[in-house]
Amino acid sequence: MEKKRAQWGSKIGFILAAAGSAVGLGNIWKFPGRAYEGGGGCFLLLYLIMVVFLGAPMMLTELSVGRASQTNIVGAFRQLGHRRWSWVGWIGVIGAFVITCYYSHVGGWVMRYAFGYATEGERIYADSLGYFYNMLGCHADGTTSFPWVAILFAALFMAINAVVIIRGVESGIERFNKIGMPALFLLLLVLLVRAVTLEGSRPGIMYMISLDWGKLSFDTVLAALGQAFYSLSIGMAIMITYGSYLPRTENIARNTALVCTMDTLVAILAGFIVVPAVFATLGEQQIGKGGGFAFVSLAGVFRQMPGGTFFGVVFYLLLLFAALTSCMSLVEGIVAFLTEHFSLPRKGTTLAVCGSMFLIGCLYTCSQAAFPLKGIWFDAANGTTSPAFCDAMEFLTDRIMIPVCALGCCVFVGWVWKPGSAIAEVEQNGVRFGLARVYAVLIKYVAPVAILTILAMNFATGMTLS
């Protein structure tokens, strides 16, 4: 007898889980820095255009492919088209695997900081750079040691993911997101009120709504598009997996609009928290992106802010929920594929997948502080960090695999499966898809051209990562 396929238990369960996948480190960690660099208000506007005209149609495409095929990433392309299209799914699976390797470790660092602010905020303030490197096994006297604190927290982070995934779609992922996402919104609101009421935050707020077109460049446009795809979890075929658990009664178009709105709202709110808070405390020029900013510079913000230690805990808890629910979706995409494609048991597969991603991710954590990988990825010329390995992973996923998978997906739907089939999938159960014609044009012509341009530019600019 064929096993019944898992399904979301409720409409809100799916929406929160999909929003949970989308809202992640990309929204809270990457977006504010990108928005600042892109000129505040103009970047926000550009970002909104990208989400509406490219991100949302892509999400709708992935969800309808998933629901129509009722199967995993690789199987979906095979089933709706031909086996020669399964490479798109394979890129999704491999990309999701690579992202999770480092995403889970950064998640572990975030968890360490949530504990750190709760128990020893003073130590973080006293030497924020030293605290960060200490966690990674690099000490002030120049010696290095195994970064067991970071590794331990990454293991804990991965273990939470594994437990949730083993419990399954409805009682694991859906239930976790039903608690995690409302908590995330609450934490976000607390931080927003704190940030905009800080003395000196006004110039930051003004910057975020100013339209300084002088900062606009082709690079900014590309950054906005790349950020939109990453943030919406597009191009890893994760939404195909989540769509495959959707009942036929659900309105995909409305769900897409809701998930995109939530994700964009969180990114913009994060921008309105981080940018004004940094303006008010450290000064404008300190705004940045990446680990150094999220872990080191922000310590200065919390140190100077009234009630800063409390808000530090709130901030890292927020980041932790965001990272957990996104990481979960990546793991689910891989586990769903392996269990269905190779008829493997869910529990063993989840443990093997999470275990191997954790182990490979250890290279990421270890490469930061040079122990025990000294000389392999350690960049002596640049000091203690090791951009080579981390950048290579990010470059491979964000700049190559996501666009290639997204391109494969929209060419497949635009020219092989045909937009009409996706529209028919949306219009099940008497749903009317008013924007069907616009959607067809976007997915057939606009999206492939835009993604191809991104890819070409990425190859042309090489590894100039931010």
> Among residues 176 and 230, whose Cβ is nearest to ligand PFF?
230
> Cβ of residue 34: shortest distance to ligand PFF, in angstroms?
12
> Cβ of residue 333: shortest distance to ligand PFF, in angstroms?
7
> Among residues 233 and 339, whose Cβ is nearest to ligand PFF?
233
| Burial tier of 217 (Cβ tally within 10 Å: 0-12, 13-18, 19+) | exposed
Is the separation of the CB atoms in 168 and 331 below 8 Å? no
> Cβ of residue 246: shortest distance to ligand PFF, in angstroms?
17
Lookup: tokens for 243: 């769509």
Lookup: tokens for 433: 């898809």
> Among residues 252 and 370, whose Cβ is nearest to ligand PFF?
252
> Cβ of residue 52: shortest distance to ligand PFF, in angstroms?
17
> Among residues 28 and 195, whose Cβ is nearest to ligand PFF?
28
Interface residues with ligand PFF (CB under 6 A) are 21-22, 24-27, 96, 99, 230-231, 233, 236, 238, 326, 329-330
Q: How many CB atoms lie within 10 A of CB 384?
A: 17
> Among residues 24 and 419, whose Cβ is nearest to ligand PFF?
24
> Cβ of residue 22: shortest distance to ligand PFF, in angstroms?
5
The Cα 270–Cα 185 span in angstroms is 11
The Cα 195–Cα 277 span in angstroms is 5
> Among residues 6 and 25, whose Cβ is nearest to ligand PFF?
25
| Burial tier of 282 (Cβ tally within 10 Å: 0-12, 13-18, 19+) | middle
User: For the chain, first and last CA: distance in Å?
Assistant: 51
> Among residues 104 and 231, whose Cβ is nearest to ligand PFF?
231
One-letter amino acid identity for 201? Answer: S
Tokens 């991710």 — which residue?
361
> Cβ of residue 436: shortest distance to ligand PFF, in angstroms?
26
> Cβ of residue 96: shortest distance to ligand PFF, in angstroms?
6
Nearest CA to 363 out of 375, 371, 355 is that of 371
- Sign of the CA dihedral 158, 335, 102, 270? negative
Residue 11 CA: distances (Å) to CA of 17, 18, 128, 376, 432: 10, 11, 43, 48, 18
**3-state DSSP assignment of residue 465:** coil
